[in-house]
C-alpha cells in the first residue's frame, strides 16, 4: 500500500526557534499533500493543502508566515514552524493524496509531536 513517513516523530525546542517537519511519500508520488494539527482530545484540523511546485493553500485562521510549507518534489513536503511558542505545541500530521480510479484517497503519516518549551 501507499506509505507516508514523517520526520521527526518527536521534537522538543526552545521558544523562538524554528522547527522543520518532513513528510515523505515512500512508494508513490503525491502532487498534493495535506497538513493537519491535532490538539489533545480534539479532532484533526486541516491547516493547509500543499501542492507540488506551487504555493500552499492555507485554511482560514492559519498564519502562512508562521507555518511555512514547501512542496519541492513529488515525494516531499515540509512544514516549518517559525519562531515557535508554547501554544504551537501540538501533534502535526501530514497526508498524501492518491488517485484510486474515480476516487481520491488520503494516506496519513504517523504524526510529529512538537513540544515548545
Partner 1 sequence: GDSVTQMEGPVTLSEEAFLTINCTYTATGYPSLFWYVQYPGEGLQLLLKATKADDKGSNKGFEATYRKETTSFHLEKGSVQVSDSAVYFCALRMAGGGNKLTFGTGTQLKVEL
Q: Select the residue interacting with partner 1 from 17, 18, 42, 73 (CB under 8 A).
A: 42
- Total binding residues toward partner 1, as defined by CB under 8 A: 21
CA distance 73 to 21: 15
C-alpha cell at 69: 510549507
Contact present, 88 and 38 (Cβ < 8 Å): no
Kindly state whether residue 44 participates in binding partner 1, applying the rule CB under 8 A.
yes
C-alpha cell at 116: 515548545
Kindly state whether residue 110 participates in binding partner 1, applying the rule CB under 8 A.
yes
Nearer to partner 1, 32 or 78 (CB): 32
Q: Select the residue interacting with partner 1 from 7, 28, 49, 66 (CB under 8 A).
A: 49
CA distance 92 to 95: 10
Nearer to partner 1, 6 or 75 (CB): 6
Contact present, 68 and 80 (Cβ < 8 Å): yes
Contact window for partner 1 (CB under 8 A) among 62-70, 71-79, 82-90, 106-114: 106-114
Using CB under 8 A as the binding rule, the residues of this chain from 2 to 41 that contact partner 1 are 4, 6, 32, 34, 41
Amino acid at each position: 500500500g501507499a506509505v507516508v513517513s514523517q520526520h521527526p516523530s518527536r521534537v522538543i525546542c526552545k521558544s523562538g526557534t524554528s522547527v522543520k517537519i518532513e513528510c515523505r511519500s515512500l512508494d508513490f508520488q503525491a502532487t498534493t499533500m495535506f497538513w493537519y494539527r491535532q490538539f489533545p482530545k480534539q479532532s484533526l484540523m486541516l491547516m493547509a493543502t500543499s501542492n507540488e511546485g506551487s504555493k500552499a493553500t492555507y485554511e482560514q485562521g492559519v498564519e502562512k508566515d508562521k507555518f511555512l510549507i514547501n512542496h519541492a518534489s513529488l515525494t516531499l513536503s515540509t512544514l516549518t514552524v517559525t519562531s515557535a511558542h508554547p501554544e504551537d505545541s501540538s501533534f502535526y500530521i501530514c497526508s498524501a493524496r492518491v488517485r484510486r480510479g474515480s476516487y481520491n484517497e488520503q494516506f496519513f503519516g504517523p504524526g510529529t509531536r512538537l513540544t515548545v518549551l
